[in-house]
Amino acid sequence: MTMLSTDSGTATARGLSVEFQDIHHSFIHGDRPVRALENFNLSIAPSEFVSIVGPSGCGKTTALSMTGGLVRPRTGSVRLDGQEVTASPEDVTFLFARDALLPWRTVRANVELGLEVRGMSRAERRERSDEWLHRVRLEEFADSDITHLSQGMRQRVAIARTLAQSPRVVLMDEPFAALDAQTRAIQQEEFLRLWEAERPTVIFVTHDLEEAILLSDRVLLMASRPGRVVADIRIDLERPRRQEMRISSEQFHGYYHQLADLLKDAVQAAEVERTK
């Protein structure tokens, strides 16, 4: 496939476009259907960083899982660069809150896992893992046991494992939720720096509005039952983004208040719906 150039022209952007078209999806819960997504339409441009926020149960993870081919929509389609997703696409990787590292493997062997699954040669794997361990500042720990690392270091291993596969779409489900506030802030900035170097398309699910604003080009707000997009807000803060923007940027505060009001409405509506 052709490589795409970035807006800034500073890096090779490798992201694919993601298109959700007329998706309706329900799960059977007990003996009745739960409408997880209804009339769900969304276009994400190549190399865009898009966050999805919304009340619990509104369908964020379902949308993410469909992009990774883990859930097949009952009607409608998800397309990556125009190609319908029917199985787990090679170009797509996941990153979750729980890092899902294998405790019996060393740090390096965890970073190489996805490359091994793809059949990359030992020498190439080694080269790639050296590079990524360096990029996440863990080269000294290459031969360490996973169990000896802090939670923040473990998540850096997971990030290296994810990005070492040169994904063109990265699907992230609350990836920093298990970290303490300080480590989380550091990792947000570090992840942005790594993302800016290669610019895969990112779909990022979070409950944290500030995190969504700080990282994203767009923040989508979903409402529940049925799960649908109710707001799509473009975040025009300059890049590179810095943590100080949370405090110093009036524009940041504006986005925050706008989204917080909308989210409050969506959460209240979800609660009313749940008590029906």
Ligand X SMILES: Nc1ncnc2c1ncn2[C@@H]1O[C@H](COP(=O)(O)OP(=O)(O)OP(=O)(O)O)[C@@H](O)[C@H]1O
The footprint of ligand X on residues 221-260 (CB under 6 A) is 227
**Cα 52 to Cα 31: distance, rounded to the nearest angstrom:** 29
**Cα 275 to Cα 183: distance, rounded to the nearest angstrom:** 38
* 59 or 175: CB nearest ligand X: 59
- Cβ at position 272, least distance to ligand X in Å: 15
* 15 or 55: CB nearest ligand X: 55
- Taking CB under 6 A as the binding criterion, the range among 54-62, 76-84, 107-115, 146-154 that sits at the site for ligand X is 54-62
**Cα 25 to Cα 8: distance, rounded to the nearest angstrom:** 38
* 15 or 54: CB nearest ligand X: 54
* 36 or 202: CB nearest ligand X: 36
- Cβ at position 260, least distance to ligand X in Å: 17
Token digits of residue 83? 């190609």
**Cα 151 to Cα 178: distance, rounded to the nearest angstrom:** 8
* 136 or 171: CB nearest ligand X: 171
- 41: phi then psi, degrees, rounded to nearest 5: -130, 135
Q: Which of 27, 75, 86, 232 binds ligand X (CB under 6 A)?
A: 27
**Contact (CB, 8 A) for 37 and 25:** yes
Q: With b meaning 16 or more CB within 10 Å and e meaning fewer, what string describes 32-67?
A: eebebbeebebebebbbbbbbbbbebbbbbbbbbbb
Q: Alpha-carbon Rg of the chain, whole angstroms?
A: 19
Q: Is 213 in the site for ligand X (CB under 6 A)?
A: no
Site string for ligand X, 56-95 (x = CB under 6 A): xxxxxxx---------------------------------
**Contact (CB, 8 A) for 40 and 18:** no
* 62 or 110: CB nearest ligand X: 62
- The count of chain residues that interact with ligand X, using the rule CB under 6 A, is 13
The footprint of ligand X on residues 33-52 (CB under 6 A) is 34, 36
Token digits of residue 62? 């379902």
Q: DSSP labels for 159-198?
A: HHHHHHT--SEEEEESTTTTS-HHHHHHHHHHHHHHHHHH
- Cβ at position 34, least distance to ligand X in Å: 5
- Taking CB under 6 A as the binding criterion, the range among 28-36, 74-82, 111-119, 157-165 that sits at the site for ligand X is 28-36
- Taking CB under 6 A as the binding criterion, the range among 8-16, 26-34, 118-126, 162-170 that sits at the site for ligand X is 26-34
Query: What angle (nearest 5°) sits at the alpha carbon of residue 45, between those of residues 176 and 66?
Result: 60
Token digits of residue 175? 């990836």
In the complex, the residues that contact ligand X under the rule CB under 6 A are: 27, 29, 34, 36, 54, 56-62, 227
